[in-house]
Amino acid sequence: MTDSSPSRATGPESWGGRPIAWWHELTFPDKVRLFTAALWLTSLLAFHPESVLDAIAVLALLAVIALLPRHPRITIAIGLAACLASGFVTTNLVEAAHLITLFAIFLTGGYALARGWAVVAVTIYSVAETTCAIVWNASSVALDTMTSFVNGFLDGYSGTQPGASDIGGGSVSPILAWTFSVLLSILVNGFLVAFGRAFRVNTDARRTIVRNEALLERVTREQRIARMIHDSVANDMSVVAMLSWRLRQTLPERNATDTNTDHTAAARDGIIDNTDAASMLDTIYDRSHHALDRVHEVIDVLDGRRTLTDTEKTTVDTDDTAIPLSARVEKLVEEQDRTMTMLGMNGTSHIDITDDTQPSQAVTNTVLSLMEEIYANIVRHAAWNGSEDGNENGIPVYSLFVTGTRDVIRVTEINRITDEESHVVRGTRHGKGLDLHRSAIEALDGTLNTSAQEGTWTIAAELPLR
């Protein structure tokens, strides 16, 4: 028995891709923790604890690094206090762990703390560390750096200028040393905070983009579902309502007290054409059944039992992608024109689609869906007096033009309109269909324009194929 399921990738690309994917899934504080933990292990290889106090101090600082991503606000406060305390243990290992921990604290602080609290933390720690170093001779990298720089400068100056060794007594003033050390510490630690803050801004921006994309996808999905319901249910029900009304108009009037009207005799007398009536009833059944199927499909989408894309493929007859667009359009126009004739609305349809017209599935669905909406709007709004020839003063009720080339597809329809909607669908809420189709067409870089001037309605859509 052959297993047709896709096999797992086991090659070098998979081995290299998994760690990279795992790294990208980590948050910035987690990455800082891993990096500084690696630095901590490296420092253990270079230096060794000289006493139990060294080991306790180093392990305490490691615990601060480990807890930073999980509880940053509390751990930062505790960690800064631990760094101040470790400054009184002046061994190489503790000083290295001290610097590594500060590096992790301020990077994480810039990411996790509000800007004001981060500035306060940097300022207080810089002042406290420098004060402890000057007053109690604790360790301070900023003070050591500043003192070494100034003493080196003075030593060099005294070597080139005879008698200059007496300047300042050959030492740095404690007040100046404290001031410049605090400024240097604020500068370095502030840079780390700013670096972490930049990552936070970038993370927030990416999260905002993801939320907006999710919201856009949700809105788009809801619009597609609304368009599906409108096209398949509202349009079908409009036709059903019009056919039912049309069929009812062919029935003879019956007195309320007369229960013996012979409808078979009436049909035999020409009042009802049985063939036309059967065709109307068949169409009513087909449209009602189609609308019911579409409602069930939409419910399946909402329940998650099927995807919206799979459902849209069955909205129009586009299951077989080998069928050219011209054949699909001709089939749709033939069916819709036949229905319109049953309704007593005769019109003209012109199709001119070249063989090299090869739209995508999305464009095809959009074009056919728009055409169904156009026919539904003709039923609802076209000027029509219900005459037997289906014309309005000798003019076709509607004129439809569909053209397609290798670069563009155009759909244009013209019909007369009145100030009042059809009495068959009067009182029914509608008017959002074209807005839904306009959104779908514009999403494909197309255009949909409508106009109503001097009693004539015109709709023109254009969809590019390149």
How far apart (Å, rounded) are the C-alpha atoms in residues 282 and 276?
A: 10
pLDDT at 329: 92
C-alpha torsion 96→98→104→105, nearest 10? -170
* Percentage of residues of the chain with pLDDT beyond 90: 39
Q: Decide if pLDDT at 300 tops 50.
A: yes
pLDDT at 330: 92
pLDDT at 454: 82
pLDDT category at 427 given cuts 50, 70, 90 is very low
How far apart (Å, rounded) are the C-alpha atoms in residues 336 and 334?
A: 6
Mean pLDDT of 301-306: 72
Higher pLDDT, 305 or 365: 365
pLDDT at 414: 93
Beta-carbon contacts of 276 under 8 Å, excluding residues fewer than 6 positions away, are 250, 342
How far apart (Å, rounded) are the C-alpha atoms in residues 375 and 382?
A: 10
The enclosing H or E element of 303 equals helix 274-303
pLDDT at 249: 63
Mean pLDDT of 361-378: 87
Beta-carbon contacts of 200 under 8 Å, excluding residues fewer than 6 positions away, are 28, 110, 111, 112
The enclosing H or E element of 437 equals helix 433-443
- Mode of pairing for the β-strands spanning 391-392 and 395-396: antiparallel
pLDDT at 356: 80
The enclosing H or E element of 253 equals none
* Percentage of residues of the chain with pLDDT beyond 70: 74
pLDDT at 316: 47
Give the three-class secondary structure for 394.
coil
pLDDT at 158: 59
pLDDT at 393: 58
In the 8-state DSSP scheme, what is residue 431? -
Beta-carbon contacts of 302 under 8 Å, excluding residues fewer than 6 positions away, are 225
Give the three-class secondary structure for 350.
strand
Q: Decide if pLDDT at 266 tops 70.
A: no
- Report the predicted TM-score, pTM, of the whole model to 2 decimal places: 0.59
How far apart (Å, rounded) are the C-alpha atoms in residues 97 and 112?
A: 22
pLDDT at 33: 95
**Per-residue model confidence as pLDDT tens digits over 40-92:** 999 988 998 889 999 999 999 999 999 999 999 999 999 999 999 999 998 99
pLDDT at 433: 75
Helices (H), 47-173: 52-67, 72-86, 92-112, 115-136, 141-160
Which residues face 459 on adjacent strands? 413, 450
Beta-carbon contacts of 55 under 8 Å, excluding residues fewer than 6 positions away, are 49
Indicate the range of 16-20, 127-131, 262-266, 304-308 predicted with least confidence.
Answer: 262-266
pLDDT category at 389 given cuts 50, 70, 90 is very low
In the 8-state DSSP scheme, what is residue 320? -
pLDDT at 77: 95
Q: Decide if pLDDT at 325 tops 50.
A: yes
Higher pLDDT, 359 or 322: 359
Query: 94, exposed or middle or buried, with CB in 10 Å at 0-12, 13-18, 19+?
Result: buried
Long-range own/partner contacts, residues 41-50 (CB < 8 A, 24 or more apart) = 43/93, 43/96, 43/97, 43/100, 44/93, 46/92, 46/96, 47/91, 47/92, 47/93, 47/96, 48/93, 49/91, 49/93, 50/91, 50/93
Q: Decide if pLDDT at 428 tops 90.
A: no
Query: 407, exposed or middle or buried, with CB in 10 Å at 0-12, 13-18, 19+?
Result: exposed
Which residues face 411 on adjacent strands? 402, 461
Q: Decide if pLDDT at 146 tops 60.
A: yes
Indicate the range of 53-67, 89-103, 145-159 predicted with least confidence.
Answer: 145-159
Structure-block tokens of residue 435? 């807005």
Q: Decide if pLDDT at 270 tops 60.
A: no
Mean pLDDT of 219-226: 77
Mean pLDDT of 91-101: 94
Q: Is 100 within 8 Å of 61 (Cβ atoms)?
A: yes
Which residues face 403 on adjacent strands? 352, 410
Average pLDDT taken over every residue of the chain: 79
Instruction: Provide the greatest CA pair distance for the chain.
Output: 138
